[in-house]
Structures are given as C-alpha cells and as structure tokens.
A and B are shown apart, each in its own frame.
With several copies, the nearest count.
Chain A
Amino acid sequence: MSTLHTVNKSPYERGSLDSCLAHALPGDAVLLIEDAVVGARAGSTRVAEALKAAMPGCTIHVLGPDLAARGIPADAVVEGVSVVDYGGFVDLAATHDKSQAWL
C-alpha cells in the first residue's frame, strides 16, 4: 500500500513538510506543489537537508510549473529530486495506491 503524499505550503513557514516526512514510509512518494516548491531549491538549507535525509526511503518530486513560477530553474533543485509536470502528478497519483494531502 504505497502512498503519494502532497505538500503545498512553504516548509520555511509551516510544519506540514516536516510532519509529512516524519510519516512517509519506504516506497512512498512525496510531491511538493504550490508554495512548497521553494523547499526544493538546492543549497545548504535546513529543508534541503531534510529532503536528502528522506531519500532514498521515499522518492521526492516537485511540480515543474510551480518551480518556474517561483524562479527556480529545474536544474537548481536538490539532487535526487525529480521534476514533474501536471501529467507526471497524475501518473504519481495513479501508480501509488492512494494520495494523502498534508494541508
């Protein structure tokens, strides 16, 4: 029973990403969308470290259109994080048994 977890708020302001990562299990996927994508920017930040620590237990994904809107180039994301479009979001939702939104 694998899960796609979605997180949509900035991990610099809210606790939802931390809580998501603390509950995701091996084989799960975590997808950052909307304001949460700011957490995917590579660099020596607390959030980048948390994402690295979560892989490879989970796969981490980020929504490309949201990245672009925040001025983050697709090649400037934390290593190992995959960039997907809305179709990729649909695929992630389809290939995992269920999805859980961390609102």
Chain B
Amino acid sequence: MSDTKRFLYVNRKAPHGTVYALESLEVVLIGAAFEQDVSLAFLDDGVFQLVKKQVTTGIGVKNFAPTYRALGDYDVKKLYVERESLAERGLTEDDLMEVTHENDDEEDVSSIEIVDRARMAQIMAAQDVVLSF
C-alpha cells in the first residue's frame, strides 16, 4: 500500500456547545503536515461550523471559526457541505463563510463544494480513513 491515504474528517456537530468542532480542526491542521489526501465533510449540524459572522465574545469562548479560512494555506482544499443538511436548517450557501485556496493558476477559488446527500455518500465511501468527532 502506498503511504498516501484518503483521510476524511466528518463534522456532524454544531460549534461552541461542545469542543468537538474545535478539536477536530486541530487534528486537521496537524494532519496537513503528513501530506495525505485530505477532505472535510460537513453534514447534519456540522454545517453550522461554517456559518459566517460567528461572534463568540459574549460567551467568553475563543472564536476558532477564522481558522477554517486558513485551511487553504495548509493545502486543505476540499470542504464538502451537504445540501440537504443546509436546507433542513434554513441555510443556504450564502450563509456560509468564504473558504478559498490558490489553484495552479494562482487564482483564489472556493474550497467549499455543496454536494447532495447521494454524492456525500459516495465521497465517504471513497475514503481510506474516516475520523469522526
């Protein structure tokens, strides 16, 4: 087996009420150094992690949401967000923050791809290692 595996980080939980979103992101950042094929899946309440304009000063907790926007610098470029999960929660793509990376032509392109549930299932199926938090 080659040393490169497909790693998927599955995010199904809302941010701030529990630490899972934050500590999951910490794994992604560390994992980026290992040069694997990394994808992030956001479905169910995990889609709330990417909602823009999160302001956490009122709850006295550090806001880690800006870190998602830095993922491109770590060569983490594939963030899949499930369309059905958004819709059920009254959200649209416009409610999500911008996460971009530089493509081969040095243009900033979006790292977020909205996918339907069937495609999300295919993405999950194609992985070697699935980390859920």
Contact = CB atoms under 8 A, between A and B. Distances in A.
Interface of A: 1, 3, 8-10, 12-13, 15-16, 19, 22-25, 28, 34-35, 38, 41-46, 48, 64-66, 68-73, 85, 97-103
Interface size class of B (residues with CB under 8 A): 35 or more
Contact of B44 (A19, A24, A42, A98): A19
A98 B90 CA distance: 33
8 contacts: A25-B122, A35-B18, A66-B16, A97-B128, A98-B130, A100-B132, A101-B130, A103-B12
Interface of B: 10, 12-18, 20, 43-45, 48, 51-59, 61, 63, 65, 88-91, 95, 117, 120-122, 124-130, 132-133
A69 B16 contact: yes
B90 A13 contact: no
Given A19-B44, A34-B17, A98 B59 contact: no
